[in-house]
Amino acid sequence: MDTVNNDKQTRKRCSDELFLEAIFSSKTYAEIAEKTGQKITSTMARYARTKKVLSARGIDLPEMERKKPVKKVDNVENMLAVVARLKEHHKDY
């Protein structure tokens, strides 16, 4: 993996071999990005391009999943509190 610097940005480059190894040993785009040092968006785009090229040759890549976000706040409790406040403010309901 190489790092290329220019005035505006830093890029992480990895070989096709390293990228394919990361694909076959991962289940999510985030895992591939971590193994290759690339951004998740770059990883997703490269995966899509690679899959398209290899599919034309009859080779299927494993399906990737997006990492599930972790919810830190219970939205239902927040919505109930807002509804109670609005009902108190607008007693016509």
pLDDT tens, position by position, 46-75: 999 999 999 999 999 999 988 777 767 678
Structural domain containing residue 50: 2-67
Position 3 confidence tier, pLDDT thresholds 50, 70, 90: low
Closest by Cα among 43, 56, 54, 58 to 11: 43
- Number of folded domains that form the chain: 1
Q: What is the mean pLDDT of the chain?
A: 85
pLDDT band at 76 (very low <50, low <70, confident <90, very high): confident
Which burial class, exposed, middle or buried, applies to 8 when counting CB atoms under 10 A from its CB (0-12, 13-18, 19+)? exposed
Report the alpha-carbon distance of residue 47 to residue 45 in Å, rounded: 5
Q: Is residue 73 part of a domain?
A: no
Q: What is the pLDDT of residue 1?
A: 64
Give pTM, 2 decimals.
Answer: 0.64
Following CA atoms 62, 66, 70, 71 in sequence, which dihedral angle do they give, to the nearest 10 degrees? -130
**Is residue 13 one of the residues assigned to a domain?**
yes
Question: Residue 14 falls within a domain, yes or no?
Answer: yes
Residue 72 resides in a domain? no
